[in-house]
Amino acid sequence: MRGKITAALLVGATLLASSAGAATECGDVNNSGTVTSSDAQAVLRNAVGQPVVLQCAPTGGIAKTGQTTCYDSDGLEVSCDGTNQDGDLQLGASRSFTDNGDGTVTDDGMGLVWEKLSDDGGIHDKDTTYTWANATAGKIAALNSQNFAGHNDWRLPNRFELDSLVNLGAASPAVYSVFATACISNCTVSTCSCTRPDYHWTSSTYLSAPLYAWTVYFSAGDTQASNKTVGYHVRAVRGAQ
């Protein structure tokens, strides 16, 4: 019996890896937040016609927005059941982050490592602002010269990378809790994690007007192009997807 179960799981794993359908390409088909043998079982049951719903992020790795509540046209909160709103369906890949204990946070899904921000007046302070050029020539260069967290390949994130920190289930700041924890006066990156609900620079230029670059507004989570001479906030990143 044990051999049959193992064989079935292997078949399920093969289907999981080889299926051309978007629902079976992401791995975590039961939307549990991680890939386990239960995903292979779910794919196998679905393949033989059993009524198993495979829940996956859409092709391309689109993530959940984080929104879990629903509202009517008057802006009043309502039950999500049957509304087909974002808060009802909650589609997309689950997000997972790890605090590395060295002033950085890793996005477990994308593999990006983010600088934590503090409120201590130092290089990581959430309130410090930079022009677009000085974001790299000033802050990023300083982090690399200091070999922050043991690395010297820190950089300014592009628009899509920075936008991946937006959590539409939160506001002021619209980020995941790992980026907004115990932020009190004089706290350091070893004791807190801060995000100012304001504009943050990305490395992406606004091509319609190259004097501007894209920013992410972490009060509500929207984006806009801003003049590169304005002073905005900076969160460094390293690594790649």
Q: Please tell me whether residue 226 adopts helix, strand or coil conformation.
A: strand
pLDDT in tens, 117-141: 999 999 999 999 999 999 999 999 9
Continuous H helices in the chain: 2-18, 37-47, 86-89, 132-134, 141-145, 159-163
Residue 147 half-sphere exposure, CB side, CA atoms within 13 Å?
Answer: 1
Confidence band for 147, pLDDT divided at 50, 70 and 90: very high
φ, ψ for residue 139, nearest 5 deg = -65, -50
Statement: 97-238 belongs to CATH 3.10.100 = yes
Average pLDDT of the residues in 56-66: 68
Name residues whose C-beta falls within 8 Å of residue 99's C-beta, 6 or more positions apart in sequence: 105, 116, 178, 193
Domain boundaries, the chain: 2-47, 97-238
Of 25-29, 94-98, 186-190, 217-221, where does mean pLDDT reach its minimum? 25-29
> Do the Cβ atoms of 24 and 16 come closer than 8 Å?
yes
pLDDT above 80: residue 168: yes
Q: What value does the mean pLDDT take over residues 178-189? A: 98
Measure the CA–CA gap between 230 and 226, rounded to whole angstroms: 7
State the burial class of residue 182 (Cβ atoms within 10 Å of its Cβ: 0-12, 13-18, 19+). Answer: exposed
The lowest-confidence range among 30-39, 179-188, 195-204 is: 30-39
- Weakest mean pLDDT among 6-15, 89-98, 187-196, 222-231: 6-15
Write down the pLDDT at residue 59.
41
